[in-house]
Homo-oligomer: A and B are copies of this chain.
Amino acid sequence: MTDKRNDVDLELNALPATGSAVDVVVRQLRKLISEEGLKVGDSLPTERELCVRFDASRNTVREAMRILKAYGLVEVRPKIGATITDNRMARAFELFSFNTMEVSRKSFTDVQAFRDLIEVRSADRIFEELQDKDLAELREINANLADIRDIQEASEVDYAFHVRLISILGNNAILDVYSVMKPIILRIMQKGKTRRTFMTETYDEHEGVIDAMAARDRLAFEYRLRNHLMVGFKNFSDEMEGKA
């Protein structure tokens, strides 16, 4: 196979290596991006403009653009056009979402331990970045637990709360990992809980965490958040053992 030259590909100016027309356009687009020094947020020319510039049909340009989109390098919005982005990590995780879920499902405890690591042990960083806006939005999200109609909806709110919490870190890699694990996390959250449990216990636990953050009480934050995570895990363990 000719595509075995990944090492060569690492160098910017890969040989023309004339492949299909779409591959040629992809190469030209990459060259365009690097030579123009385009950064995240910058716009690419319109599709029709790229057609004349690369002397290719619009379909060919579109297929090339699909590849760049799949690679998480550009984002295309109707009427707006294509803009440079960098969601490669998220794409990489999506690629392996099947594997990750497959393995992780065998050990939910791993995911829960992972969450403890991410959420509780980054407390200092969270408090560094914490702003009033974060607190307000966390309370707003948690308030939604009052209106939930079923467990599915409740776990979505619960998940949103924790995502908003770690979003304070401003680390996209962590957010990407969370989105991959979302299905597993939702199931953990639902285990052993009722709609009523979410509306009372889960709500109160979240409020306790927010209060600790508002008071800049890091120890209380760690203690309450860890307890909150443990509760979910305990519910899950009980049900698992009961089933087995």
Contact residues of A with B, CB < 8 Å? 6-7, 9-14, 22, 30, 33-34, 37, 39-40, 59, 62-63, 66-67, 69-73, 84, 86, 88-107, 110-111, 113-114, 117-118, 121-122, 152, 169, 171-174, 176-177, 179-184, 186-187
Q: Identify 19 new A-B residue pairs, CB closer than 8 A, beyond the known A6-B187, A66-B67, A100-B177.
A: A10-B99, A10-B183, A34-B100, A37-B102, A62-B63, A71-B95, A73-B98, A88-B95, A89-B111, A92-B180, A100-B173, A100-B176, A103-B172, A103-B173, A103-B176, A104-B172, A107-B171, A110-B173, A173-B181
Q: Which of A6, A30, A103, A169 has the most CB of B within 10 A?
A: A103
Check A92–B6 contact: CB distance below 8 A: no
A182: chain B residues at CB < 8 Å are: 13
In-complex Cβ contact of A86 among B10, B100, B106, B174 (8 A): B106
